[in-house]
């Protein structure tokens, strides 16, 4: 990853996900966050081992990382970090943001961008109250997403604290999902126009997802 050790205070979007595989829904989410929140940079952060998917079979972190690099290569505002993959083990977001904060100028601002359903479970993540003090959150939703779910899972006091730190962004392109792409590949159906061609070529060359992984 390029050096983050900048003297300038910048606004960073950290795009957290498993990216299994990365698709246009993720890329549109990052682009929309970049523009709406006037970010200086978006750093994609593929997780090593997602803590909430301990029993799931997931393709290697290296493959997910390389596909992410291929997908963002043409956007000068986007880059990919191997921080979580190099750290290994379960990827706790609080540890990642903590590590990044140490490398950024003191007044830099961090927005953690990910899917709304992931953020819905933030109270089950490691040290959620510390995490919410570290950064803001951008929760990407698919069209028709029921935001009422958030009010249901938080206690009144938690919601008062968390709601000011979470922004919601509806992304029509998130009608695309990694699960549906894996399923289509397994069934031999086309995934063209759902994810970048160079990522499709990588999947095909390495015979990924054909056996239910």
| Interacting residues toward ligand NAP by CB under 6 A | 15-18, 25-26, 29, 47, 50-52, 91-93, 113-115, 117-118, 125-126, 140, 174, 177-179
Residue with token string 């159906």: 189
| Least distance CB 122 / ligand NAP (angstroms) | 8
| Least distance CB 114 / ligand NAP (angstroms) | 4
Q: Which is nearer to ligand NAP, 9 or 52 (CB)?
A: 52
| Least distance CB 183 / ligand NAP (angstroms) | 11
Q: For residues 115 and 137, give the distance between their C-alpha atoms in angstroms, rounded to a whole number.
A: 10
The alpha carbon of 75 is separated from its chain's Cα centroid by a whole number of angstroms, namely 17
Q: Which is nearer to ligand NAP, 58 or 104 (CB)?
A: 58
| Least distance CB 50 / ligand NAP (angstroms) | 4
**CA torsion through residues 98, 47, 140, 103, sign:** positive
CA angle 46, 54, 61 (to 5 degrees): 30
Q: Which is nearer to ligand NAP, 9 or 149 (CB)?
A: 149
| Least distance CB 7 / ligand NAP (angstroms) | 27
* Torsion, Cα of 157, 161, 167, 173 (10° steps): -50
Give the nearest residue (CB) to ligand NAP.
115
Q: Which is nearer to ligand NAP, 7 or 146 (CB)?
A: 146
Other CB atoms within 10 Å distance of the CB of residue 194: 20
How far, in Å, are 10, 72, 114, 185, 198 from residue 121 at the CA level? 28, 27, 12, 29, 33
Q: Which is nearer to ligand NAP, 4 or 174 (CB)?
A: 174
Six-digit token string for 194? 């759902």
């Amino acid at each position: 990853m390029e050096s983050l050790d900048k003297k300038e205070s910048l606004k960073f979007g950290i795009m957290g996900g498993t990216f299994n595989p990365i698709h246009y829904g993720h890329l549109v989410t990052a682009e929309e966050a970049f523009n709406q929140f006037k970010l200086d940079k978006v750093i994609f952060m593929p997780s090593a081992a997602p803590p909430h998917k301990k029993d799931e079979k997931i393709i290697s972190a290296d493959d997910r990382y390389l596909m992410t690099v291929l997908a963002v290569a043409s956007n000068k505002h986007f880059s990919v970090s191997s921080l979580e993959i190099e750290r290994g083990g379960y990827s706790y977001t609080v540890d990642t943001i903590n590590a990044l904060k140490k490398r950024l100028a003191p007044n830099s601002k961090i927005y953690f961008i990910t899917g709304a359903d992931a953020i819905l479970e933030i109270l089950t993540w490691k040290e959620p109250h510390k995490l919410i003090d570290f950064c803001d959150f951008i929760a990407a939703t698919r069209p028709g997403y029921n935001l009422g779910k958030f009010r249901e899972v938080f206690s009144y006091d938690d919601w008062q604290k968390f709601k000011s730190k979470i922004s919601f962004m509806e992304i029509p392109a998130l009608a695309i999902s990694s699960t549906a792409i894996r399923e289509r590949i397994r069934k031999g159906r086309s995934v063209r126009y759902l994810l970048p061609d160079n990522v499709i070529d990588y999947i095909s060359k390495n015979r990924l997802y054909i056996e239910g992984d």
